[in-house]
Amino acid sequence: METGTAILLSMLIPFLAVISNIILRDKPNLRDGTTLAAAVATFLVVLKILANEGNGTSETLVLFQVMPGLDLAFNVEPLGLMFAILASGLWILTHLYGIGYMRENNEEHHARFFACFAFAIASVMGIAFSANMFTLFLFYEALTISTYPLVAHKGTPEAIKGARTYMGILMGTSIGLQLVAIVWTFSLTGTLDFTKGGILEGHIAGPMVAVLLGLYAFGIGKAALMPFHRWLPAAMVAPTPVSALLHAVAVVKAGVFTMLKVGIYIFGIDFLSETGASEWLMWLAAFSIVAASVVALTKDNLKARLAYSTISQLSYITLGMALASSMGALGGGMHIATHALGKITLFMCAGSIYVATHKTEVSQMSGLGRKMPITFIAFLIGALSIIGLPPFAGSWSKWLLIVGAADTTQWVMIGVLMVSSLLNIAYLLPVVAKGFFLGDRSDTSQMQEAGPLVWAPPAVTAAGCVILFFYAGALLEFLAPIVAN
């Protein structure tokens, strides 16, 4: 199979899953089985792309030209391929988890839910393989639209309000800021193609470089950079499989992936370093890292605590780009993968606890670890990876970011990363401590693990946090070409 055909199939197969969910809406087993087959097929197609291209950059596939210099086009490069592998592989687990969660929790409108989920994955594949900023923007907007019904799924006033906040901030930032930045870039350069070393050098100088970067940074609302972060906690009213999708598979990863693409392929790391245009962004990312962690400490609701944790962790990736160093960019790229595995584990564990006990607050977790040991051990592993302790994957991406900060003599940023890890300990480990070490509550005597479709996926992703620790070198080598001269 040629790479161009495989790229198109990676988007077409999830879209066919959208249609199958609609057609088979009254046949749940066949519907869910067909969607699972589509998820596996998408992953296999992406692996075929990996076999074809490795960590090289493929020729560009142009579907059609809107105007000279503006194409709907796709290609493969290491950062995008890593994102596609991550999203398509985790789709399999989140779909299995979603089946268990939706059925055990007696949720309604399954067909609509899984159809929108599949549409979101199709959008992510488009984002991952976009060859230029124009194509990426189209799929970026499609991802926002496809996930809105997922956030509003429960149909309650709280869910509708959360979905409106979600849609309002994401569409407002992308159209009001990101689109302006894209038009400005095109007017300066005559192209929006992702190009190694960037396309802006020689076309813009002085303070305007920082202004243009600001339009991109705040316009990429899915990166949840403060103060445009409120959509993410608001979206926590959605079912937990959606939270896993938002935080690990699709939405926020699309945001920070776009941030890295803009920094590496539109501005260029060397250009940002020479102009110092990203220094303000580095400090804002540092503020977001610490501030969101402090807010997480105050949240008793487990999903809200994890949501603010995500805001903090996403800013690690923005910081990696803003350091304007090769090691910082590589650390940011690796953190996309390590955070995805760690955070999807935590959210799926939160959902497992809810399905089994209907408890949502950290203060209610006392004694649950002894009743649900698989779920709480998986949570512990995911938490330790997020904290950045070996032998868990998150330790390597944090290490690379620290090295990137040292390379650029940003000693304060090293301190920020260290303080962040301490705050991670403070808001994540009490969940496990309460579960295993505090006394049983009288109402926990009949509680046990949720069904295997609910506890098994986080167990698998927790194992992934360990496995990736030992293969981090291979991932670093895979990503290396994105910053090679």
31 phi/psi in degrees, rounded to 5: -60, -50
Query: Within 193-325, where are the H helices?
Result: 207-219, 231-234, 240-244, 251-261, 269-275, 279-298, 302-322
Do the domain assignments include residue 114? no
Do the domain assignments include residue 344? yes
Asked if 137 and 178 count as a contact pair (C-beta separation under 8 A), the reply is yes
388 phi/psi in degrees, rounded to 5: 100, 35
| Residue 102 neighbours by CB under 8 Å, 6+ apart | 110, 113, 239, 241
Residue 482 lies in domain: 298-485
Q: How many CB atoms lie within 10 A of CB 301?
A: 15
Total domains in the fold of the chain? 1
Using 50, 70 and 90 to split pLDDT, how confident is the model at 247?
A: low
pLDDT at 237 over 80: no
Asked if 7 and 45 count as a contact pair (C-beta separation under 8 A), the reply is no
Residue 58: which of 198, 194, 216 has the closest Cα? 194
Token pair belonging to 306 = 């994890």
Using 50, 70 and 90 to split pLDDT, how confident is the model at 444?
A: low
pLDDT score recorded for residue 166 = 87
At 419-437, the pLDDT tens digits run 999 999 999 999 999 988 8
Do the domain assignments include residue 360? yes
| Residue 358 neighbours by CB under 8 Å, 6+ apart | none
Asked if 50 and 474 count as a contact pair (C-beta separation under 8 A), the reply is no
Asked if 74 and 61 count as a contact pair (C-beta separation under 8 A), the reply is yes
Do the domain assignments include residue 387? yes
Contacts of 164-169 with C-beta under 8 Å, sequence gap 24+, read: 165/230, 165/231, 165/234, 165/235, 166/231, 166/234, 166/235, 168/231, 169/221, 169/228, 169/230, 169/231
Do the domain assignments include residue 70? no
pLDDT score recorded for residue 26 = 86
Give one word for 137, left, alpha or beta, with left for phi > 0 and alpha for psi -120 to 50: alpha
CA atoms of 334 and 475, how far apart (whole Å)? 7
Residue 170: which of 113, 115, 234 has the closest Cα? 234
At 144-194, the pLDDT tens digits run 998 888 888 777 888 888 889 988 999 999 999 999 999 999 999 999 999
Asked if 45 and 445 count as a contact pair (C-beta separation under 8 A), the reply is no
Percentage of the chain modeled with pLDDT above 90: 66
Our measurement of the distance from residue 437's CA atom to the centroid of its chain's CA atoms, rounded to an integer in Å, reads 32
The pTM is what?
Answer: 0.93
Q: What is the mean pLDDT of the chain?
A: 90
Asked if 328 and 317 count as a contact pair (C-beta separation under 8 A), the reply is no
Do the domain assignments include residue 368? yes
pLDDT score recorded for residue 250 = 79
Section 10-36 average pLDDT: 92
At 80-137, the pLDDT tens digits run 999 999 999 999 998 898 888 888 777 778 888 889 889 999 999 999 999 999 999 9
At 339-383, the pLDDT tens digits run 999 999 999 999 889 888 888 889 888 888 888 899 999 999 999
Section 268-287 average pLDDT: 94
Do the domain assignments include residue 282? no
Our measurement of the distance from residue 71's CA atom to the centroid of its chain's CA atoms, rounded to an integer in Å, reads 26
CA atoms of 388 and 313, how far apart (whole Å)? 11
Asked if 345 and 354 count as a contact pair (C-beta separation under 8 A), the reply is no
Do the domain assignments include residue 36? no
